[in-house]
Structures are given as C-alpha cells and as structure tokens.
Structure 1
Amino acid sequence: MKSIKRNWMLAYMICLVISAVELIFCHIQGSLTQTLLTFVGICAFFGGYVCIFAKQKLPTYYDDNRVCLYSDGIFRMNVPGVSFNNSNWPHILQALRIWSVCSMVLYPILQVLIMNVFPEHYTYIGGYVLLFLTLSCMFIPVYIVGKKYE
C-alpha cells in the first residue's frame, strides 16, 4: 500500500512540474488566463491531497453506517447517492488521483488549442464547455466506482 502511495506521489510531482512548465509557456504565449490559473491551482491542491495525504482506509464508522460525506481536516467531499466505505474508497481515490494529475497536465493544453482554433468563441468553448467537461470527468467516475463497489 505504501508503494502505491509513493508511486502516486511521484506521478503527482512529475505532473506538477509539467503543469508549471505549461503555465510558463502559456504566459510567454499570452494565453494564460485567470480561469486557467485558478483551475490548475485547484487541481494541484486537490491532487496534492488525494495523492499524498489522503487516508488509504476509512474508519469503521463508514462501514457500519451509510455516510455520503467524507471529511478529513479542511478536505470535504459529498457525493449524494454514494455511501463511502472501505470497499469503494480505494477505487474512489484511484479515480480522483487519475483525474487530478491528468487535469493539471491536459487542461492547459486544451485551453491553448481552443484559443488557437476558435479564438472568437474562446469564452464560450474554453470558459464554459471545457470547464464543464473537466469537472464532469471528476464527478462521473467517482459516482460510478462509488456505486459499483458499494
């Protein structure tokens, strides 16, 4: 279990460096937006938690009761309809880890592509559609694996 956490910590650090380089290139190119900076920052913060600090095993309270809210310090996650327990928690963590490291790296690339391909429609496509797709790519897999292994 420690090797899994160590591997995710390494993957997170590598993706964090790649994301920082991408943000520097976006700044040089002139395509660094507040939305991009905010979203990558949220992914970095969230990814740091799930890859480095998240507990691998939940307290037995989660197995004994149907709890839809996970709370650990300042981190809180509520997924209506999904009861967190030790059978689905490793899969939920896996989905969150994959989402956070992929989003940190892919979101800047997608934004630059959209800005260059659709410059006149960037606000709509890049601002709203891309953000919606990215966030749904987090919640849908968490919901699916949460229900599947419940």
Structure 2
Amino acid sequence: MIKYCKLLVVAFLVVSCNYDNKKTNIADYSLNKENTSSDPQLKASIERGKLVYEDLCITCHMGNGEGAPKVFPPLAQSDYLKENQEASIKGIKEGMSGEIVVNGITYNSVMAPLGLSDEEVADVMNYINNSWGNSYGKFITTEDVTKVIKN
C-alpha cells in the first residue's frame, strides 16, 4: 500500500511539473511594452508591422525572429539589423542577395522583393526593431523609407 501511495505521489508531481512547464514554456513573442507604450503612432505602426511580418516574413525568419541557422539570418538581437537600418529597409523593399554577416555567421541567401508599400516597410521595420529584445533605431516613417529607397 505504501508503495502505491509513493507511486501516486510521484505521478502527481510529474503531472504537476509537466503542467507548469507547459504554461511557462510557451514563448512570448509579444512586443516590448516599454518601447511602445509612450508613442501611440509607434504602437500602431508596430501592430500593423506584426500583421505583415506574420503574413510574409515568419516563414523564413520564424515567429521568434531567430531565422534558420546558416540559411535565413536572425532578426532577434541582430547586429546587422542594428548597424544597417538603411540596407535593411532596402532589403525589405527591394529584396536582397549576396553575402551578409549577421552575429558572426555568413549568410548567402536570396530574399525576393515582397511587393510592400513604403508604409508597410516602415511598419515591418518598426515591428522588428522593437521585438524579441530589439530596441533599434528610431520610429521609422513612410517618408524615411521613401527617402532611403530614392538614394
């Protein structure tokens, strides 16, 4: 009888621990609230950018922004994104090809142009600049994108 009670207690603990893990292991890919709460325009842009990202970008760069190792570069904690905002804007608007180095890893993939408007590019940039621990750059406007594309 004591053996069965111990087994029951162990089974209960395993189930309880497993249940807690399921609750806490769900990744939270939400926006960095501290970056969005002070500026309603930025917050709205980020929300729109998230929709575009989830529609077009998530397949390669994943829901957590970590990309696919040595195939599609990460956007989360990306030194390339942080240091190359204009090139990133152009890449989203016009596509990219050729080698780039992101966080010390060389990528040589092709990103096709996505057919996004300047506003959609600005919104996606604001989303990725303020997600997954990123806090890069400033609020990017449609006018900023237009200016970068013209140059």
Could you tell me the TM-score, scaled by structure 2's length? 0.27
Could you tell me the TM-score, scaled by structure 1's length? 0.27
Larger Rg: 2
